[in-house]
Structure 1
Amino acid sequence: MRPMLSLHDVTLSYHSLSGETKAVSHLSFSVEEGEFVTIVGPSGCGKSSILSMLAGLIPPSSGSLSVNGNIGYMLQKDHLLEWRTIRRNAQLGLELQGKLTPENIAFVDHMLDQYGLGDFKDRFPSELSGGMRQRAALIRTLAVRPDILLLDEPFSALDYQTRLSVADEIGTIIRKEGKTALLVSHDISEAISLSDRVIVLSGRPARLKKIHTISLSVENRTPMKAREAPEFREYFNQIWKELDVHVA
């Protein structure tokens, strides 16, 4: 079976009048169907650039990558349109793709009901909490039925308590919907709690340092339950030591 996402010996350089800046260097990894994988690394190491390459927004300078399925991209901000209701925001991707059929409208309404926004579908984004807005943004992304989700720090704008709750909710939704997901995060705890594997990158230019397969002894695992596993702290300490963020 082919991986849903793969990079082979990928290098990415940005060019400007002042010269060349290498963002990613000879990077290779893959993501299998149904996996939730998180990329962690120091700030500015090129994590978001990797998602941009996979989404087809920028080409690699060298190497190859493949994407075997339709992509949904969830950004740091929810980018809900303030003049549209939550229901109409959730339908936006379908509308832009010319797929606003009765069947797809019913699918959106079902997800809004299933994930706690049914009573708010006629409200406007300004009337919702940050966590509810992120749920609406995820439903908008899922509405076009992507095979793969690219998640660029979608919880980073939230306060800490809301971030824990929303990461738990969204991680659970993604698992329930059976999606393949690749998340970029600065938060080691978040990465461990959500993921099947965690990819650790070096400082810029991003190189692969290590891939951790996350195995936690908890039943009916959810992101919140994962944080209670006895192995959680061991993974955290290992990944923290591998990050290039330490001052000598």
Structure 2
Amino acid sequence: MSDIRIHISNKTYVLAHDTAQFHHAIADLDFIVHPHQFVCLVGPSGCGKTTLLNMIAGLDQHYQGRIDMGQTDKVPSIGYVFQNPRLLPWLSVRQNIEVVFAHTPPTRLIDSLLDSMQLRDAQHQYPERLSLGMQRRVAIIRAFAINPDILLMDEPFVSLDAPTARQVRSLLYSLWLQRPHTVLFVTHDLREAIALADRLIFLSPSPMRVLSDIAVSIARDQRHEESRIELFREQLLQNHPEINGLL
């Protein structure tokens, strides 16, 4: 996997087809993501973060600019964890994971991922019997299972209560350490971003652009210490006043 180079010179929406009203969503957005980096995108609601992920995933191709995955011989595989878990209600947990495979699903891999996310005992249950936190864990497994070159995650822990979010975040972090992927993770939670990321990219209100690109200097084996997270957060807000209005 090579660097992901993103340059979006313009992304505009038509607000109403019967008028000439437009919304300028993104302008002159530039950044690079290195292989196996965990990058958190932080910005205000409605600034275009989900739109950007959809553009990277190829779901939205109506923009001016270029997204270069650095691959010349093949199209990189992309896993996507949406805000909504998007589980198929007529399939069990295990079947919702197996559905992403065109051929025989890898039993041992799926077993390992179920164990990592503490879902082995729930593998034959249907989504309606699962808590939201469990549904989100299934969605994470489904994205990891294909061993993607790039993993896109759009606020995967939104609407979870704080203890559940911490648990699922910890499980995700452990899984990523076992199987590092290039990750672009959208969040509005600065503490969550600091706990997970190698880099924090702060995005402005629309038209969206990069305001700050900051490395997280806390050692990986110290990310579980809330005092270190809070100290880094306080120093970040003090040293970068331009991001205060985004949170």
Q: Distance in 1 between matches of 2:200 and 2:48?
A: 16
- 1:165-180 alignment runs, 5 A limit: 165-180=167-182
Residue 232 (structure 2) aligns with: 231
1:1-248 counterparts in 2 under 5 A?
2-3=2-3, 5-15=4-14, 16-17=16-17, 18=19, 19-67=21-69, 68=71, 69-94=76-101, 98-99=102-103, 101=104, 104-216=106-218, 218=219, 220-222=221-223, 224-225=224-225, 228-229=228-229, 230-238=231-239, 241-245=242-246
Q: Is the 8 A contact 1:192 1:235 kept in 2?
A: no
Q: Give the TM-score normalised by the residue count of structure 1.
A: 0.87
Deviations 1:82-138 (A, max 9, x none): 2211111111211xxx22x15x23321222123311121112223333222211111
| Runs of 5+ unmatched residues, structure 1 | none
- In 2, are the aligned partners of 1:192 and 1:236 still within 8 Å (CA)? no
Kindly provide the amino acid, as one letter, of the partner of residue 236 in structure 2.
Y
Structure 1 residues 36 and 24, CA gap change in structure 2 (3 angstroms): same
Q: Between the two proteins, what is the percent identity of the paired residues? A: 33
Q: Is the 8 A contact 1:195 1:214 kept in 2?
A: yes
The whole-number CA distance in structure 2 between the counterparts of 1:180 and 1:219 is: 16
Is residue 36–residue 180 contact of structure 2 (8 Å, CA) maintained in 1? yes
Change (3 A) 1:227 1:143: farther
SS in 2 for 1:21: strand
Q: Could you tell me how far apart the structure 2 residues matched to 1:60 and 1:213 are?
A: 31
Report deviation, 1:151: 0.4
Equivalenced residue count is 238
Give 1:168 deviation, angstroms: 2.0
Q: Over aligned residue pairs, what C-alpha RMSD do you find?
A: 2.2
Shift in Å at residue 236 of structure 1? 4.8
1:78 is displaced (CA, Å) by 1.0
